[in-house]
Amino acid sequence: MATGRLVEVYLDLLSQPCRAVQILLSCNRPPHRVRTVALRKGEERTPEFTKLNPMQKVPVMVDNGFVLTESDAILKYLVTKYNLPEHWYPRQPERRARVDEYTA
């Protein structure tokens, strides 16, 4: 479902985890396309979306066929892939471990 080099993210901004992903994308502007999934209309239950995430939850990220379905994993993936500033996700093992401890 991803097109070219754009990362596609499926979001509904009523969801706090989706807003976290949107904030990261807005502040850093990696090449991406937002696909809105209106939870209040049940769009997460469509057959097309269920193929992406059988749990029928947002956010979902698709990067050249690679699908991630949890906001924590999506955020860490984007920071790593696009080498975003360290304050988003520290590179030092101890500091990174503290972030991981908190988000686990």
- Known catalytic residues? 15
Q: Could you give the dihedral angle defined by the CA atoms of residues 56, 3, 35 and 74, in that order, rounded to the nearest 10 degrees?
A: 60
- CB distance 75 to 21 below 8 Å: yes
Q: How far apart are CA 12 and CA 4, in angstroms?
A: 23
Q: How far apart are CA 102 and CA 80, in angstroms?
A: 18
Q: How far apart are CA 3 and CA 83, in angstroms?
A: 21
Q: Give the containing element (helix H, strand E) for 61.
A: strand 60-63
